[in-house]
Chains A and B, each alone.
Chain A
Amino acid sequence: MTSRRQFLEVTGAGIGATLLSMAGWAAETTPVQGGTLVANVLPEPAGLVAGINISQPAVVISASIFDGLVRYDKDFKPQPQLAESWTESKDGKTVTFRLRRGVKWHDGQPFTSADVQYSLLEVVKKIHPRGSSTFGKVVAVDTPDDYTVVLRLDGPSVVIWAALFGTETQIVPKHLYAGTNVMANPWNAKPVGTGAFVFKEWVRGSHVILERNPNYWDAGKPHLDKIVFKFIPDAGARAAALENGELHYAVTNPVPESDVDRLRKNPQLVVDTKGWEAPAPMFFVDFNMERPQFKDVRVRRAFAHALDRKALADNIWYGLATPAQGPVPSYQKQFFKPGLPQYEYDPARAEKLLDEAGVKRGADGVRLRINHLVSPYGPVYQRAGEYFRQQLGKVGVEITLVNYDLPTWIRKMYTDYDFDTAAGWYSAYPDPQIGVERRYWSKNIRKGSVSSNACRYASPEMDRIIEAIHDEVNPAKRKALIGDMQTLAQVDVPSINLLELNFYAVYSKRLQGLREGPLRFYSTLADAWLTPANAA
């Protein structure tokens, strides 16, 4: 029998719990003003202006300092940011942006169309490695008045609509950059933007501090008073700082994959694997197509059959990846083509294909001895290399793993082409024309150019498809062409598309108001706020 006292305790606890959850609900809907967010980026970037010092950490910091012409909503549709509205002419050769009035740079100078013109022509088109091809069709930028920008194109271009966000097509202040060496400009280390947060200080080797912009055009925002981006170089120490609440926000895979499960069980923390659908990281293994062993497509297909992508995703990546079906991630529904040719895990089939290609087992059981360049981006890629060696060993291919640090790896892979097979990851980006085609286009076999076509795969048929994608304006026809590209990439396998990676961020449950959508962690923290420490 339940005693009266027990009954009271139970109901009391129940009511308490209800009140608590209501308080929690209220806290999650009404932003709290003020507070300091302590975040982590890694490693320390060379500069803080993402469009000039292009790197992930610079992008994460820059996103809160600089607004772009547009931002993207959760369906990747452009929404007004510095541009209030835009129109495109029928022939697609003129795009007109109307700029927001009254926006000021953090140093008080007005933001005008001249800044946009300068940024597009002198920074994006000249310095940004993707900008020059993304905006390749833009031949001129006119500024009929202070608040109107007109892009003149020599042909319609669909791809620019996937690249207008602030950290890809960055708008920098002309008055601080014009006439200088942009790469060496001292303002790259003390950025002046138009965004929700103002740069305060950068103590090298330690941290960057941003403060609330009281004159932000979006009235009432931002909510936070201050953001501290700390540089914590050791992964174990980062995990510890997240667990004891010193660190609220850490993006771009802040802890090893093997630690993620432990952090998921921590009631104070959120492990978020969404928000990377626009950068769209993909893991692959490239063949060096100039090596005689790989001239025969049956050998390449045999390699693909020897790998169990599901096991790779579940065991090596601890479930933080899903098998890729092609070069375009399957979640990009507007481009992905279902039903592509697949290479299911089938070692017997792999052996049969190798036999047919004349790569027979020798007396010692070895068919082929090759090397494999391991991707230098962290321990998970080393384990992936070991998995690759083990799986191919089973079908008679003896692999020697080659490990280098990042600068050496880049040199070996993209300049010296000194590898038989090589693993790496790349960003597919929100439009395959930005991210995917560069791996397959023969015109992108460019010695010394990172993330170019390192396989040196050249196919006239593929080139025809890719060049047709550039010129096609009709979305349905363009999608069909992009589908053809994916099919041919899977048929020819110059590179084995293995995984769609889930990048992850770890942050405190107290952090609210992150932007939704496929660019979540490359977006401004203008809407972010922290619930009081005791409520969490």
Chain B
Amino acid sequence: MPGYLFKRLLQMVPVALVIIVMNFFLLKMAPGDMADVIAGEAGAATPEFMAALRQQFGIDQSLPVQFGHYLQKIAVLDLGWSFRANESVLNLILGRLPATALLVVSALAVALVVGTALGAFAALARRRWVDPVVSLLSAIGFATPLFWVGLMLIVLFSVKLGWLPSSGMYDMAASHEGWAHALDVLRHLVLPGLCLSLYYLAVYARLMRASVREVDRLDFVRTATAKGLSRFQVVRRHIVPNAMLSIVTMTGLQFGALLSGSVTIETVFAWPGLGQLALYAVTSRDVNLLLGILLFSSFFVMVVNLLTDLLYSVLDPRIGAAP
């Protein structure tokens, strides 16, 4: 196992280098820079002022020089400074991480539980209409654009019914403390969390359905049934655990895709997370910040992939042992 881990870590080094180089040069290819954005907001700027800004931001130097500076900083794990927000990139990212983590983890948890239950139910239900209905619903959930679902949820639950707040993470006007604050955050979490989970839920339901059906046909299930176990026990002890393997892989992948889904949701629900920060970095051409977020999230993906593989080799010892 330690050998396997070491090998995997070693493999990550070239991947990380490629990511760093690609991120940097891709972002620098976008026309317009932060000084242009600042001048655009101001409605006017003198060339001298723009030159002073570029000098301050360090974007007046040649691209190789800038890249050299960037590498030097990355080597000591310094993500740099956001001149736009006047704050270190690491602080900005860490400040937004809890909101995104809360949103994504709760959405993923709901999706995981409800999705696998629905999928298993659809695969095993005796009534013939259950399977097509679940399949249809999950196809709809999978295919509907998230931003539209989000807006419809707002229209229904915030505007028409008035049950839930439409935006933000907590009520800034009320300034709750303690449990009242937690409850307030929970109320704000319901709509974006539900919206984001709909997509994952659909994915899990489809996957679980397929994988339960497959496992159901295998020999050991027949053996279990033959030795006289009840249908419920067969499902609980033999089918579901074995069907979960593919769900674990998928969860790892989904967790990696943590940011992409939440950009839309965070924008629609004004949720102050990393996705919105990334969007803000793009529109203001804050390259330092965007590089930081991209690097952070690509490392996150690599680490989650590694953990998934490790978990996999724990669940199925044959995987880790392979050369």
Contact = CB atoms under 8 A, between A and B. Distances in A.
| Residue of A233, A407, A415, A449 most packed against chain B (CB within 10 A) | A407
A228 interface: yes
Interface in A413-464: 414-415, 426-427, 438, 446-452
B89 to A, nearest CB: 12
B173 A232 contact: no
A207 B39 contact: no
A410 B36 contact: yes
Interface centre among B47, B53, B172, B267 (most CB of A within 10 A): B172
B33 A129 contact: no
Contact of B32 (A203, A231, A407): A407
B162 interface: yes
Contacts of A241: 158, 166-167
19 contacts: A129-B39, A129-B49, A189-B85, A189-B87, A204-B85, A204-B272, A206-B168, A207-B168, A207-B172, A231-B270, A236-B154, A244-B166, A246-B158, A407-B30, A407-B283, A408-B30, A450-B36, A450-B39, A450-B42
Interface string B167-185: 1110011000000000000
Nearest to A248: B173
A132 B45 CA distance: 10
Interface of A: 36, 38, 43-47, 54-56, 127, 129-130, 132, 181, 183-184, 186, 188-189, 203-207, 209, 226, 228, 230-234, 236-237, 240-241, 243-244, 246, 404-412, 414-415, 426-427, 438, 446-452
Nearest to A45: B41
A132 B269 CA distance: 41
A406 B282 CA distance: 11
Interface string B139-159: 000000001001100110011
Nearest to A449: B47
Interface in B177-219: none
A449 B272 contact: no
A310 to B, nearest CB: 27
A450 B44 CA distance: 5
Contacts of B165: 246
A144 B6 CA distance: 74
Contacts of B168: 206-207, 230, 232
Nearest to A225: B173
Given A205-B277, A406-B283, A407-B40, A237 B154 contact: yes
Nearest to B99: A205
Top 4 A-B pairs, shortest CB-CB distance: A407-B32, A205-B272, A55-B41, A54-B42
Contacts of B243: none
Contacts of B155: 240
A406 B37 contact: yes
Contacts of B162: 244
Nearest to B285: A407
Contact of A204 (B40, B42, B44, B92): B92
A237 B285 contact: no
B37 to A, nearest CB: 5
A237 B44 contact: no
Contacts of A209: 172
A205 B154 CA distance: 20
B102 to A, nearest CB: 14
B36 A407 contact: yes
Contact of B40 (A181, A240, A406): A406
A450 B43 contact: yes
B25 interface: no
B43 A240 contact: no
Interface in B54-87: 56, 83-87
Contacts of B30: 407-408
A49 B147 CA distance: 33
B238 interface: no
B268 interface: yes
Given A129-B39, A450-B45, A407 B173 contact: no
Contacts of B99: 205
Contacts of A183: 53, 56
Nearest to A438: B44
Interface residues of B, number: 57
B310 interface: no
A189 B88 CA distance: 14
Contacts of A410: 32, 36-37, 39-40
A181 B86 CA distance: 12
Residue among A230, A234, A405 having the largest count of chain B Cβ atoms under 10 Å: A234
Contacts of B2: none
Contact of B270 (A189, A234, A447): A234
B56 to A, nearest CB: 7
Nearest to B269: A237
Contacts of B37: 406-407, 410
Contact of A206 (B44, B56, B272): B272
A42 to B, nearest CB: 10
B31 interface: yes
Contacts of A44: 280
Contacts of B277: 204-205
Given A184-B86, A407-B37, A410-B37, A129 B43 contact: yes
Given A129-B43, A244-B166, A184 B83 contact: yes
Contacts of B280: 43-44, 205
B296 to A, nearest CB: 16
A46 B269 CA distance: 21
A237 B86 contact: no
Given A204-B85, A411-B32, A230 B45 contact: no
A44 B281 CA distance: 11
B46 A244 contact: no
Contacts of A186: 86
Contact of B95 (A36, A129, A204, A449): A204
B276 interface: yes
Contact of A205 (B49, B166, B273): B273
A183 B49 CA distance: 11
B46 A449 contact: yes
A409 B41 CA distance: 13
A228 B30 CA distance: 35
A47 B83 CA distance: 11
A244 B159 contact: yes
Contact of B159 (A43, A240, A414, A427): A240
B270 A237 contact: yes
Contacts of B284: 46, 407
A236 B46 contact: no
B43 A426 contact: yes
Contacts of A415: 36
Contacts of A233: 267, 270, 276, 279
Nearest to A236: B151
Contacts of B279: 233
B50 interface: yes
Nearest to A37: B173
Interface in B254-276: 267-270, 272-273, 276
Contacts of B273: 205
A186 B86 CA distance: 7
